Amino acid sequence: MGLDVFSDNALMQKVKEGETGMMGLLFERYYRQLFGFMFNMTRQKELSEDLVQNVFLRLLRYPDGFRGFGEFRTWMYQVARNVLYDHFRKIKRTPVNVDLDIHEGRLLSESDADASLEKREELEKLEKALQMLSDENRELVVMCRYQELKYSEIASILNITEGAVKVRVHRALGQLRTNFLSIEK
């Protein structure tokens, strides 16, 4: 039986029992997802990589924070949010730089140059609109639309009801749309 058949919770339980090497498998499973979350919150590639590393360091240092009930992924996002907030507190929330390199490969593979340029312009407008949101609304949009977390997972991460998540996401997406349309004018 290969290691990849272990559930996330089972792997984290092994880490808690001292088998710290199991964290490597969790890292492989979640690095890209966490990087996407951090990048969409900071817009800085190198910083996002550092923050993801910090998340996994915290998971290793404080494995007892994982109680075993609930999903590992939900707990991991709670830790990720704490790492992100600690970073923002430390730097007192400086403006973010938009780094669109992560999307460059997809855009350059377009066969039609006009379509590629139009797509890039739309992406840049969307990124600006996303950055205009409050931190709380941007986090909700990133978790829901970019990370594709379920409302129930977001509710657990934020420690609010699923109904409250739905309302907040709806409002955040409305604000994103308003921001996008204001940029288009």
CA geometry: angle at 58 spanning 56 and 62, to 5°?
125
* pTM tops 0.75, yes or no: no
- Give residue-wise pLDDT tens across range 160-181: 999 999 999 999 999 999 998 9
The Cα–Cα gap between 18 and 20 comes to 6
Whether domain 7-99 has CATH 1.10.1740.10: yes
Domain layout of the chain by residue ranges? 7-99, 112-185
- Give residue-wise pLDDT tens across range 39-74: 999 989 999 999 999 999 999 999 989 987 788 999
Q: CA distances (Å), 157 to each of 27, 65, 85, 110, 141, in order? A: 19, 14, 14, 37, 14
The whole-number pLDDT of residue 125 equals 86
The whole-number pLDDT of residue 119 equals 75
The second-level CATH assignment, the architecture, of 112-185 is: Orthogonal Bundle (1.10)
